[in-house]
């Protein structure tokens, strides 16, 4: 029993990336798997978030090590008008565990959530908040935005987000739900107006 090591969530992700993303550090496919995992979670969210294939999301690749996902998540803040805090008192809870796993591989993460005229944002190092949530003037509707900047010391020096956006698998082997109203639009801004834009349903 003395040899059992209990790892916190972010340490567990970094040590056992294959458990979360199917491949490990140094694998040339890691960036594809991380991007697909985050986008796939938008199409297949936790049941308490939304039904499968109903959320609409936009993924914007802003650099070889950075991308942002915005989802029209319908928030339910339990009547408190404040989001429940999740991992390490961050705005990322267990319902978005794959987004949290991607955050654990990042050097900087920014989260914004809004609903019913109120918005809350938070800056993280990895998955650990620099401070508590701050309130901001929210846009209309309800949604979640998470921006990731990956840390080469965690993902490896050869980590580069993919340029082939058409052949990404955002459903995986266990998806049996019929296509619904949801979709994920992936846009690559690394080449300016000549960048790609691909819709996945």
Per DSSP, which regions of 40-132 are E strands?
A: 56-63, 66-71, 106-115, 118-125, 128-129
Q: What mean pLDDT do residues 97-117 have? A: 95
Q: What mean pLDDT do residues 90-107 have? A: 96
Per-residue pLDDT for 68 more than 90? yes
pLDDT digits (tens, 9 = 90+) for 150-191: 999 999 999 999 999 999 999 988 888 777 899 999 999 998
pTM (global) more than 0.85? yes
Lowest average pLDDT, out of 14-18, 88-92, 179-183, 193-197, goes to: 193-197
Q: Quick one: which H or E segment has residue 43?
A: helix 30-43
Rounded Cα distance between 126 and 128, Å, is 6
User: Quick one: pLDDT band at residue 103, thresholds 50, 70, 90?
Assistant: very high
42-76 per-residue burial string, b: 16 or more CB within 10 A, e: under 16: bbbbeeebbebbbbbbbbbbbeebbbbbbbbbebe
Rounded Cα distance between 105 and 192, Å, is 26
Tell me how far CA of residue 68 lies from CA of 26, 101, 146, in angstroms.
23, 15, 6
Terminal Cα-to-Cα distance of the chain (whole angstroms): 47
Q: Are 78 and 84 in contact (CB under 8 A)?
A: yes
Per-residue pLDDT for 136 more than 60? yes
Q: What mean pLDDT do residues 72-78 have? A: 80
User: Quick one: pLDDT band at residue 80, thresholds 50, 70, 90?
Assistant: low
Rounded Cα distance between 153 and 149, Å, is 12
């Amino acid at each position: 029993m003395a040899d059992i090591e209990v790892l916190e969530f972010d340490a567990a992700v970094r040590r056992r990336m294959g458990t979360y993303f199917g491949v490990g550090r140094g694998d040339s496919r890691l960036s594809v798997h991380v991007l697909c995992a985050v986008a796939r979670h938008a199409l297949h969210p936790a049941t308490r978030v939304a039904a499968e294939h109903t959320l609409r999301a936009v993924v914007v690749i802003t650099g070889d090590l950075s991308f942002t996902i915005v989802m029209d998540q319908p928030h339910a803040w339990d009547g408190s008008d404040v989001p429940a805090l999740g991992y390490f008192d961050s705005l990322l809870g267990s319902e978005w565990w794959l987004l949290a796993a991607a955050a654990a591989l990042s050097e900087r993460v920014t989260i914004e959530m809004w609903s019913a005229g109120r918005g809350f944002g938070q800056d993280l190092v990895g998955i650990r908040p620099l401070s508590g949530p701050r309130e901001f003037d929210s846009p209309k509707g309800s949604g979640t935005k998470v921006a990731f900047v990956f840390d080469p010391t965690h993902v490896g020096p050869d980590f580069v987000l993919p340029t082939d956006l058409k052949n990404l698998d955002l459903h995986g082997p266990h998806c049996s739900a019929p296509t619904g109203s949801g979709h994920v639009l992936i846009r690559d801004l690394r080449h300016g107006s000549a960048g790609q834009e691909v819709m996945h349903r």
